[in-house]
Chain A
Amino acid sequence: MSHFKLSFRMLRRDWRAGELNVLVLALVIAVSGMTTVGFFADRVELALSRESNQLLGADLLVISSQPLPEHYADEADRLGLAISTVTKFPSMISNGENNLLAEIKAVTEGYPLRGRVYLASRTSKTQTPQSEIQVAAGIPQPGTIWVDEKLMTRLDLKRGDWVDVGDIQLTVTELIVREPDHSVGFINMGPRVMINAADLPDTGLIQQGSRIAYHLMVAGEIKEVQQFRDWAETQLTKAERIEGIRDARPEIKAALERAERFLSLAALASVVLAAAAIALAVRRFTQRHLDGCAVMRSLGASQRQLFYLYWYYFIALGIIASSLGCLIGFVSQEVLTHWLTGLVETALPWPNGLPAIQGMLIGLVLLLGFALPPILNLRSVPALRVLRRDIGLSNAHSITGYLLGLAALSLLFIWKAEDLKLGLYIVGGFISAIAIFGCLGWLLIKALSGLRHQAGGAWRYGLASIHRRAVSSVLQAVALGLGLMALLVLTLIQDDLIDDWHASLPPDAPNHFLVNIQADQLDSLHQFFQQYAIEQPPLFPMVRGRLIKINGKSVSPEDYAHDLHAERHIRREFNLSWASQPALDNRVVQGSWWNEGTNEPVLSIEQGIAKTIGVKLGDELTYDIAGSHFSAKITSLRKVDWDSFHVNFFVVVPTGLLENYPVSYITSFYVPPTEIAMIHDLVREFPNILVVDVAVVINQVQQMIQQVSQAIEFVFLFTLLAGFAVLYAAIASTQDERIYEAAIFRALGAKREQLSRAWAAEFAILGGLSGLFAAAGASALGYVIGHHVLRLDYTFNPWIWLIGFLAGVIGVLAAGLLGTRSALSSPPLLTLRKIG
């Protein structure tokens, strides 16, 4: 019979006999937990990006100041992507004697590809944005125009009126309340209108030299969109660029990335738990199969034969259990999705298959990683064991086993985290936790056993048991400690981190920016704020300058032809500001901030832009500010939290250096939705000030935080289940020993109660020990993850110690007593006979 066939037969027999329950349970929970998280996180991520893409009106934009060549649309079409175009330009709109400069947006069928255009309801009498709104069914018909409230009011229009747009007249048919791509970028609060692109040629407004932005909107499946992006990036001319939501809005980018990290953290926590459960279950498996292997050796099986027997056995087991796990994972994430309808407004896109493949691989790698050395071990079981049961195995291989398993796990982490840094941090934390827990556990067990002479009754026996099973006990405490640590990180720390995240964007986060405030307007603006009882927001000075030299060498946009992003920065003017202290949401990551009062020509630059334009600490930058040159040396690089929605600058210099240059001011503040009318008054009173409304973006990010928090809580259920698997596996790992022990004790006349009290003491010590390990590990891990990975200030939660300790004691005690109930109740003679 081939090895494979026999392996499979043995697997079937063991499975049927219930020998594999713990191992299969651990594997299935591990894989299903991870695939659920994977599938679900994947879908939530897709949904979140898609929701954010509504702010763009599409998944991707190709933008140009020249009409876009056909091949972009052709390629998008070839890839099966939805396309639509938008042409934007400023022009005068007139109605009789009245005319007004407005932004015209000419759209084609399909616009917007993501999100919706909201119109004031026709049934509404007031025609204001606050009245009832409805979703537009399409785009303006040729010959018609949709206008916003500002234009309607200023030109005194009503539906059915005619307006002149260039050479043609269009009928006003709808009042636009909101369109998706309105909020992106710094947009003047000027009026805007929407027309059908078919009318565009007749307007005669498209002429050489007109300031026109041509947008090609693209939307579809992630993979195709990415394919399109990759292709399009090779085609771009200088006039063209590509924008996804992450390019357009650094705040959304930062929030999305943080959300992704949170979710992968949840997934990784279940990997730790799974690994601990599998390691314990494999250990139990090996112990229970020692006799069988010895018998097979005495019956003539060679080492090679035994190895292949168990090798195929474990591969088959891994495939079966992982497939089962994937299936359960898929079903449960479907259930989860149904529960969470309403969690995300858009329908959740169909998940891709990657989590299933990952689940299979993780199941196999974990199982084989932890099982391979024990298999190697099993094949060398001395056949003499059939005559003398006391002959066992050396522990050498089991240590290799844990090392190989850990190595496999580490690789998995780094792969699964899709983020080398996060992966390395967790692997590092995990391995040091094991080492520290192991050593501490050993020392503590030795120290505690010294106390047993002072302890009475049950405690003495409990301590003695832990000491006698020192290796098992340390292993159990480490595994339980790790499991509990993952749970604590997920519950408490995740809660704290999410709270911190919420706090980083409070409900009254600034949602309006005022740009271009002149120095002589500061007083009247101050009064204006007083009048509306709005707290005076901090004003930041801003000087605009073009970067012309780096280290004395002239730079021009042409030098950056290879990098369009950089080229745009060089071509445009930089906003420079001054400050004596770094802003609260800025962190100096290289170099150091200047001493207050310095008049050295130095500057601090944001690290992202420094990388883009290729400058480093010590470089000297020269700006052309209104015709005069200003040079300063880079003495620090800053990391800016763009999702804080505070005013931030790429370049900041010490106070006193730029005061003589033409300066304007910028500020940001919170306007409650009910007070929005105040903005209209502000625009009227200070017509030169640019108002940027980021309420929609803030709302989007806040919603995202909310959604991710909820998603994590659901995902946590699986991690909890995985935690139970660890508990079960840990208790089961000493089950056989306990059954035997119980039989002997009861044969010697011990009462059930005495035995169960002694075991309770043992479980309580074990649980307390692992609870303390877990609390220590979770605090450290929480700090590292919060600080280095999620960039949040994590504050230590002192309760974690008490909660960890109690959870350990209660959890292990309850599970232990439940798990050993059958050991207590089996008749001693039967057990002793069985053992032989």
Chain B
Amino acid sequence: MLDHLVKQPILWTNALTKQVNTGDKQLTILQDIDLQVNAGEAVAIIGASGSGKSTLLGLLAGLDLPTSGKVHLDDVDIFTLDEDSRAALRGKVLGFVFQSFQLLPALTAIENVMLPLELSAASHAEATARRLLDRVGLAMRLHHYPKQLSGGEQQRVAIARAFATDPKLLLADEPTGNLDSATGIQIIELMFELNREHGTTLVLVTHDEALSQRCSRQIRLADGRLVQ
């Protein structure tokens, strides 16, 4: 029974294709992507720059619309929903960690972590945020603004924010891309620890082979196609 639950896909795509018009010709960024991510898995999407990784991540999160194909997230065919319903689904199911942190500059560390909880009108936003920041080692930095934090610290805040709503699926886009390697390693450790603690499924986009090896499975993209 348990096994069955674990094996159940939380995310799967069907013939996902994305093309853009560049003046006179059509550029295919993603072509017929079929993939499946099961609950509890940690999957790395790897590929060179321009291979379509970030576009795929955007489509998986419903931030962008495909030219054709489907994405099922938590048993919902997300492109049958309107943008607002997709946003609501994201708020419920997804957590994000971005390369450029995407913290709101006017908000302190704790307020940034509280934000998704406040948006979903959750109770105990502050207590949850405090606990998470404590967990990521920033208990002393609660009331600092992003600009007063180092890059590594900012990404810790972003990780705390990503776990604040207890998402089923965490999407991470080059989370170490803006960090030096030592800090990057720490951040990755932290992310995997939290991922385990929360039993979250992880989809990690990276061009870093070493990092991708930390994941249970690697999906390789080249010229917009899955190569394995």
Which residues of A are at the interface with B, using a C-beta cutoff of 8 A?
Answer: 1-2, 6, 9, 13-14, 16-17, 19, 291-292, 294-305, 382-384, 386-389, 833-834, 836
Contacts and interface: CB of A to CB of B under 8 A. Distances in A.
Contacts of B147: 834
A298 B86 CA distance: 9
Nearest to A3: B121
Contacts of A301: 87, 91, 119
A6 B151 contact: no
Interface in B109-134: 111, 115-116, 118-121, 125
B87 A383 contact: yes
Given A13-B106, A298-B63, A299-B116, A386 B90 contact: no
A297 B91 CA distance: 9
- Top 6 closest A-B pairs, CB basis? A300-B91, A836-B100, A17-B106, A302-B84, A299-B116, A384-B63
10 contacts: A16-B106, A17-B106, A17-B107, A294-B102, A300-B87, A300-B94, A383-B63, A383-B87, A386-B98, A388-B58
Given A297-B87, A384-B64, A836-B178, A305 B119 contact: yes
B107 A13 contact: yes
Given A6-B118, A9-B118, A304 B111 contact: no
A354 B198 CA distance: 60
Nearest to A379: B84
Contact of B104 (A1, A295, A383, A836): A295
Nearest to B120: A300
Contacts of B111: 13
Contacts of A297: 63, 87
A17 B112 CA distance: 13
Contacts of B102: 291, 294-295, 298, 386
A298 B89 CA distance: 10
Nearest to B105: A17
B107 A299 contact: no
Contact of B90 (A16, A300, A304): A300
B39 interface: no
A1 B118 contact: yes
A387 B57 contact: yes
A304 B92 CA distance: 17
Nearest to B150: A833
B90 A299 contact: yes
Contact of A299 (B91, B99, B100): B91
A382 B94 CA distance: 17
B92 to A, nearest CB: 7
Interface residues of B, number: 40
Contacts of B89: 300
A386 B87 CA distance: 13
Contacts of B92: 300
Contacts, number: 96
Given A386-B98, A387-B173, A302 B88 contact: yes
B151 A833 contact: yes
A379 to B, nearest CB: 10
Nearest to A295: B102
A2, A292, A298, A301 — most chain B CB neighbours (10 Å): A298
A291 B185 CA distance: 27
B151 A300 contact: no
A689 to B, nearest CB: 81
A295 B119 CA distance: 11
Nearest to A385: B63
A691 B178 CA distance: 94
Contact of B84 (A6, A292, A294, A303): A303
A299 B91 CA distance: 5
Contacts of A2: 121
Contact of A296 (B54, B63, B105, B115): B115
Given A303-B84, A383-B90, 17 more contacts: A9-B118, A13-B107, A14-B106, A16-B106, A17-B145, A292-B104, A292-B106, A295-B115, A297-B63, A298-B87, A299-B96, A300-B92, A301-B119, A302-B88, A304-B84, A384-B64, A836-B178
Contacts of A387: 54, 57-58, 63, 98, 173
B85 to A, nearest CB: 8
Interface in B44-78: 54, 57-58, 61, 63-64
Contacts of B61: 298, 383
B137 to A, nearest CB: 21
Contacts of B116: 299-300
A1 B54 CA distance: 33
A384 B83 contact: no
Interface string B124-158: 01000000000000000000010100010000000
Contact of A386 (B63, B105, B115, B178): B63
A19 B108 CA distance: 13
Nearest to B101: A836
A513 to B, nearest CB: 71
Nearest to A303: B84
B87 A382 contact: no
Contacts of B64: 382, 384
Contacts of A833: 151, 178
A774 B120 CA distance: 50
A295 B91 CA distance: 11
A833 B145 CA distance: 15
A836 B102 CA distance: 9
Contacts of A17: 105-107, 145
Contacts of B115: 295-296, 299
A175 to B, nearest CB: 76
Contacts of B120: 300
Interface in B161-181: 165, 173, 178
B47 to A, nearest CB: 15
Contacts of A292: 104, 106
